[in-house]
């Protein structure tokens, strides 16, 4: 068996310095012989072989990286004086997780964290199963071992209000029946966090709005999220199970609220008059710079040299997202934006702004546009953190581009053809199925 180490070569003057760094402590492959036979394994087209006695396990890697990555498994004679030829079990690939029922042994390729395992068992002795009287845990609990500590926190309701400087309440957010559950096994080898929100609603508190409810969910629980993490691996972040589920939701957005929120968080006067930094801001920047320097001194390693750990997901699921979107600009928002425009911009562009606002008010009125983002599922994925975030961003961007025609078809200036199609389809279904249902009764 050949073990590989990572070397880094850097020129230092006229010499070359080679630095040997310890590689990860996770083996790429492992072979488990749970049978009563003696097994010989070797890489395809390579003469170097390893022998495993009954109920013996060994770590494995490819002896020749440039040769085919296929593992040849042979069963040797059980008696020492037997000169018969070995029995060929088969040639197996370690890339795909699968089960190979052969005549002599049962072969299975499975994943144990980032390690691929080739397990061999006798055909007559199946894999151990739990007793019939004991039920297997369902859901996220099947990814957790025997928990020793369980912490639960339940909140009847939680509310947050957003108030501007007028003062006037803009948004009211309420969560009902919020439950937190944290569980961990012995020595904190596995940690699990489960969050559930029975119902959630965001209310638009602007008096002149046409949509009093900004966001509401149709079913319960509105949010259900679970993370199961294993801490036994030090070189990687091993997330055994990640699941996030959102119920179908309704978004009703009013332009008045958008304008008031923008005016609350972005002030044009601050942008125009506070361009030069004040003495307090300069002092704050100096303190932040000193704090960063002290942190680097304590750690002994600059920020640029720190490398984030790779993430391994045994099972990652983001459930499909279904939403119904409605958007409209009101007259009050148009008048308010026109007043602000006339006071902050030149007079000659005010007329053009009014024309653009009138066109935007007509073209951006959307009524119940059905949006659907497909689920994102990964299984046995080993990627850096940046790659994971990039793949998630590309997935949801592609789903958003795919539904652009739905938003265009829900615009009222075109007669809302999406709504017409849904009404026509519902009418045809009722016309066909209602008589059949009555005839069956």
**The total number of structural domains that make up the chain:** 4
pLDDT category, 438, cuts 50, 70, 90?
confident
Average pLDDT estimate for 383-387 = 89
Residues 201 and 323 in one domain: yes
φ, ψ of residue 60 to 5 degrees: the values are -145, 150
Residues 104 and 234 in one domain: no
409 within domain boundaries: no
pLDDT of residue 290: 67
pLDDT category, 156, cuts 50, 70, 90?
very high
Q: What is the mean pLDDT of the chain?
A: 78
Average pLDDT estimate for 17-21 = 61
396 within domain boundaries: no
Residues 182 and 319 in one domain: yes
Q: Under a CB-based contact definition with an 8 Å cutoff, are residues 384 and 308 in contact?
A: yes
Neighbouring residues of 207: CB distance < 8 A, sequence distance ≥ 6: none
Most confident of 22-31, 109-118, 301-310, 428-437: 109-118
382 within domain boundaries: no
Residues 187 and 317 in one domain: yes
At 311, list the tokens: 């993430």
Q: Is 18 a residue whose pLDDT tops 60?
A: yes
Residues 289 and 265 in one domain: no
pLDDT of residue 43: 94
pLDDT category, 349, cuts 50, 70, 90?
very low
Using CB atoms within 10 Å of the CB of residue 119, give its burial: 0 to 12 exposed, 13 to 18 middle, 19+ buried.
Answer: buried
Distances, alpha carbon 112 to alpha carbons 93, 117, 124, in Å = 16, 7, 24
pLDDT of residue 333: 44
Domain, as residue range, for 80: 6-122
Neighbouring residues of 426: CB distance < 8 A, sequence distance ≥ 6: none
155 within domain boundaries: yes
pLDDT of residue 417: 64
pLDDT category, 235, cuts 50, 70, 90?
confident
DSSP state of 309: P
pLDDT category, 279, cuts 50, 70, 90?
low
242 within domain boundaries: yes
pLDDT of residue 21: 58
* Poorest-pLDDT segment among 22-36, 190-204, 274-288: 274-288
Express as a percent the part of the chain with pLDDT over 70.
67
Q: Is 257 a residue whose pLDDT tops 90?
A: no
At 362, list the tokens: 């007509």
Most confident of 51-55, 301-305, 408-412: 51-55
Residues 194 and 316 in one domain: yes
pLDDT of residue 23: 53
Residues 148 and 261 in one domain: yes
Residues 171 and 54 in one domain: no
Residues 147 and 160 in one domain: yes
Residues 147 and 256 in one domain: yes
Residues 210 and 350 in one domain: no
157 within domain boundaries: yes
First to last CA, the chain: 73
The CA distance from 425 to 256, in Å, is: 34
pLDDT of residue 350: 53
401 within domain boundaries: no
At 324, list the tokens: 């119904």
Using CB atoms within 10 Å of the CB of residue 87, give its burial: 0 to 12 exposed, 13 to 18 middle, 19+ buried.
Answer: middle
Average pLDDT estimate for 263-268 = 70
107 within domain boundaries: yes
Exposure class string for 3-31: b at 16+ Cβ within 10 A, else e = eeeeeeeeeeeeeeeeeeeeeeebbebbb
Residue 209: how many other CB atoms lie within 10 Å? 21
Neighbouring residues of 409: CB distance < 8 A, sequence distance ≥ 6: 369, 416, 417, 418
pLDDT category, 420, cuts 50, 70, 90?
low
Listed residues 291, 306, 321: the one ending a domain: 306
**Among candidate residues 127, 48, 40, 56, the one with its CA nearest the CA of residue 90:** 40
Residues 178 and 201 in one domain: yes
């Amino acid at each position: 068996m050949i073990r590989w180490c990572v070397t880094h070569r850097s020129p230092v003057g006229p010499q070359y310095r080679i630095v040997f760094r310890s590689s990860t402590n996770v083996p790429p492959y492992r072979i488990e012989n749970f049978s009563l036979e003696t097994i010989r394994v070797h890489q395809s087209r390579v003469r170097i072989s390893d022998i495993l006695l009954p109920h013996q396990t060994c770590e494995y890697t490819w002896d020749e990286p440039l040769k085919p990555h296929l593992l040849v498994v042979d069963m040797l004679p059980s008696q020492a004086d037997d000169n018969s030829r070995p029995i060929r079990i088969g040639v197996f690939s370690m890339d795909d997780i699968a089960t190979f029922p052969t005549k002599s042994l049962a072969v299975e390729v499975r994943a144990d964290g980032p390690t691929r395992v080739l397990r061999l068992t006798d055909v007559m002795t199946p894999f151990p199963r739990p007793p019939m009287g004991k039920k297997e845990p369902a859901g996220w609990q099947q990814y957790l071992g025997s928990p020793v500590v369980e912490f639960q926190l339940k909140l009847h309701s939680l509310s947050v209000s957003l108030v501007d400087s007028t003062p006037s309440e803009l948004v009211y957010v309420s969560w009902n029946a919020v439950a937190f559950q944290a569980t961990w096994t012995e020595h904190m080898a596995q940690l699990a966090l489960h969050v559930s929100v029975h119902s959630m609603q965001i209310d638009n508190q602007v008096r002149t709005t046409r949509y009093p409810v900004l966001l509401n969910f149709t079913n319960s629980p509105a949010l259900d999220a679970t993370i199961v993490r294993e801490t036994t691996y030090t070189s990687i972040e091993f997330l055994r199970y990640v699941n996030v589920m959102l119920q179908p939701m309704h978004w009703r957005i009013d332009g008045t609220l958008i304008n008031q929120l923008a005016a609350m968080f972005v002030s044009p006067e601050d942008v125009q008059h506070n361009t030069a930094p004040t003495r307090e801001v300069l002092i704050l920047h100096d303190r932040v710079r000193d704090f960063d320097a002290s942190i680097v001194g304590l750690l002994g390693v600059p920020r640029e040299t720190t490398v984030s750990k790779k993430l391994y997901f045994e099972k990652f699921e983001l459930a499909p997202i279904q939403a119904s979107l409605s958007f409209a600009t009101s007259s009050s928002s148009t008048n308010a934006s026109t007043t602000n425009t006339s006071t902050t911009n030149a007079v000659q562009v005010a007329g053009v702004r009014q024309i653009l606002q009138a066109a935007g008010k007509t073209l951006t009125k959307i009524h119940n546009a059905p949006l659907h983002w497909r689920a994102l599922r990964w299984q046995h994925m080993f990627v850096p953190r940046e790659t994971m975030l990039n793949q998630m961003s590309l997935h949801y961007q592609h789903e958003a581009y795919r539904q652009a025609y739905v938003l265009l078809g829900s615009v009222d200036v075109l007669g809302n053809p999406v709504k017409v199609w849904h009404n026509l389809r519902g009418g045809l279904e009722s016309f066909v199925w209602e008589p059949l249902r009555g005839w069956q009764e």
